[in-house]
Amino acid sequence: MSDITQLRIEGMHCGACVATVEKALRKVNGVEDVIVSLTMGSARVVGAASANDLVTAVLNTGYSAELGVAQVQDPLQGTYTAGAKKNMMVAWLITTPAMALMAVEMIWQLDQASTDFFHLVMTILTSAVLFGPGRSTISSAWKSLLYWSPNMDVLIALGSTAALSTGILYFTMGMHSFAGIGGMIMAFHLTGRYIEAKARGRSSEAIRKLMDRTAKKATILDKNNREQIVDVRDLLPDQVMIVRAGDVIPTDGVIIEGQAAVDEALVSGEFIPAVKGINDEVLGGTICTDSTVKIKVTKTGADTFLAQVIQLVAQAQTTKVPIQVFADRIVSYFVPIILGLALLTFMVWVMFPELMTAVLKVFAVYLPWVDPFQTPAELAVFAAIAVLVIACPCALGLATPTALMVGTGLGAERGILIRDGAAIQRLSTVSTILFDKTGTLTVGKPTVTKIHQTADVAEKDLLTMAASLSKESTHPLSRAIVDLAEKEGHSLQAVRNVEVAPGEGLSGHYKYDSLKIGSRKYTAADSGLKLSTTAVYMTRNDELIGIFELEDILKPDAQDVVAKLKQAGYHCVILTGDNHAVATSLAEQLGIMDVHTELTPNRKMEIIMYYQKDGAKVAMVGDGINDAPALAKADVGIAMAGGTDIAMEAGDIILSSKNLQALYRAVKLSTATFKKIQQNLFWAFIYNLVAIPLAIIGILHPVIAEVAMALSSITVIGNANRLRRIPL
């Protein structure tokens, strides 16, 4: 197995930075594969490369690096977002007065002295924008050029500085100055960068919350059989832990004394605690609900179940997403081509001035701003700068963030929170939607669905007795019975001498009778009924008087939403930690044929990978801690509200409503938003494809270019806002 080296990297702020670091690391001798994560500020390098060589390679690109895993809580993200907002606001604070002055200059005829002063002010204001808030863009462009990895910042930097240079050429060569547009270019770019920074989720938050689930301290028995509190990190295999009711089990182990109901939602996602006794395995992070047990430690640290879950989430989150590949491809072709075209334009005008001037004279008849009588050098500089300015991807830079801004804002108003913009692209290609059962398709807690009276006892009295005894327990099944009684307005009575059998049931004295409620084994009752649901039996003086059937019922809109998704062509699948009989019964109600039951978190993720290997694009809908790895590994993770924070942080899309209709709206919104992104990119590229040839032959006046750029940006923004017309 190849060696893996983890690096902590600081200074990255965009996808271009990631590409630069990856390129540098791949050149190191012995490197087999590299994954650089912007959100986690880390690099995972596979291969036998020297650690020192890897660190040196990153340092040579201008970023800082050190050995070790990145911190879970990365303060750089919040700092960068705040910095991006500040840069945007300062840029527009300077650019807005410049735009007002440009409007004045266009409307009123200025004398030469006023014109000179106007261009001087434009040059100064643009310089302030470029080398103030735009300094990071200029720096990024310079670094990417140094390491032969040109990014979009290169065009922004060259386009804006080229526009600024015309301000100097105005005073030295008499060339028309359009320096003011340089500030506009940078202001638009910094706005897009802020939107991107704000939308970018902190993926590491999911891991931090998983780590918060672990216990910090553990109570162990020392050599003298006395209790001692120690740090969980100091636990050793074979030590004996004391875990009491309500405690989080500190680490993986085996029960050696006692019996307890253990909440294993961390593993199965199911609401009913599992009864654990001697020789049963228990996992760190699960909760002992109703008794005291002694547990022998079997695993610690990175070997524990919860640590494995954390690792699975981290690995899934560092996988590259399709939109990154798409952006990298655009950058790798678009930027070098434009740079080459600008250089080629200059050379053609210098080498073939007569031919180019002849072409220009043809258009001069129809276009009053075309002046073919300037010197060849002026025309060459004019055309080359025009190519850079007109190709500067203002509309291209706005195409994605504006559509995302409108789409995510519209979603937030409808209870749809999109944490990862790339999920919009991936969701548009999804063919299979996998559902967790409990809390996603169902309400997430047991509900009494039927009461069987097996003796001459009125249902009201039966429910009152059962609830009066059940109120002494916090078990979910007991709470369901109490909730029903309270809902129906029954007055609960005092019960004496209550005894709890962990995970089995309760007994006590109600008035003059002895009551028992719990499992069939605990009550020693047999009704002869064949029940496919969870059942709670109740005896009075050892006589069976009633049976309560409980189910985790479907959400009211589950059938309608699944039917809509199936009609839209999606393949629906259920993944659950519940038993096969319960899950298949529920699937039949929904009309879902594919059901995978009794799954661990790792198995859920493996099944997702199975569908992916079979060619399917997969969306996972869940709400439990056990769903976190699956949500992260799926092409799109959709987390339901009311679930754990872990699942919500691991999801790309979060539904703040428990209503499943929000899922259908999310699918519809994401698909529409991605279509707008595609349309915006199309119009942005068409603008460049039409305008660049005009700039090359010298007939595109910089003022016209400026207006065209503004119109292209307005078109992109207007098209994005058409999303608001979509009925959700």
Catalytic residues: 436
List CB contacts of 122: < 8 A, sequence separation 6 or more.
Answer: 98, 101, 102, 167, 177, 179, 180
Residue 573 structure tokens: 């699948």
Distance CA 728, CA 634 (A): 25
3-state DSSP assignment of residue 510: strand
Helix ranges, 318-458 (H): 322-351, 353-364, 376-391, 394-413, 422-428
| Of 633, 613, 559, the residue nearest 591 (C-alpha) | 559
Distance CA 612, CA 591 (A): 23
Neighbours of 719 (CB within 10 A): 19
C-alpha neighbours within 13 Å on the C-beta side of residue 235: 33
User: By the 8 A CB rule, do 294 and 258 touch?
Assistant: yes
Residue 722 structure tokens: 């058409």
The residue length of the chain stands at 728
Distances (CA, A) of 544 to 180, 541, 549: 88, 9, 15
User: By the 8 A CB rule, do 400 and 421 touch?
Assistant: yes
DSSP characters over 601-637: HHHHHHHHHHHHHTT--EEEEE-SGGGHHHHHHSSEE
The bridge status of strand 653-655 relative to strand 636-640 is: parallel
Largest Cα–Cα distance of the chain, in whole Å? 116
The bridge status of strand 636-640 relative to strand 618-622 is: parallel
Distances (CA, A) of 191 to 357, 405, 678: 39, 11, 20
Q: DSSP assignment, residue 246?
A: T
User: By the 8 A CB rule, do 239 and 298 touch?
Assistant: no
Neighbours of 35 (CB within 10 A): 16
Q: How far is CA 248 from the centre of its chain?
A: 28
User: By the 8 A CB rule, do 21 and 58 touch?
Assistant: yes
User: By the 8 A CB rule, do 425 and 322 touch?
Assistant: yes
Distance CA 85, CA 261 (A): 51
List CB contacts of 650: < 8 A, sequence separation 6 or more.
Answer: 206, 313, 317, 627, 628, 629, 631, 632, 637, 639
Residue 344 structure tokens: 């080629």
3-state DSSP assignment of residue 376: helix
Distances (CA, A) of 378 to 138, 368, 371, 437: 26, 18, 11, 70
C-alpha neighbours within 13 Å on the C-beta side of residue 299: 15
User: By the 8 A CB rule, do 465 and 455 touch?
Assistant: no
User: By the 8 A CB rule, do 595 and 434 touch?
Assistant: no
3-state DSSP assignment of residue 544: strand
Distance CA 172, CA 161 (A): 17
The CA dihedral of 143, 149, 151, 153, to the nearest 10 degrees, is 20
Q: What is the CA radius of gyration of the chain?
A: 33
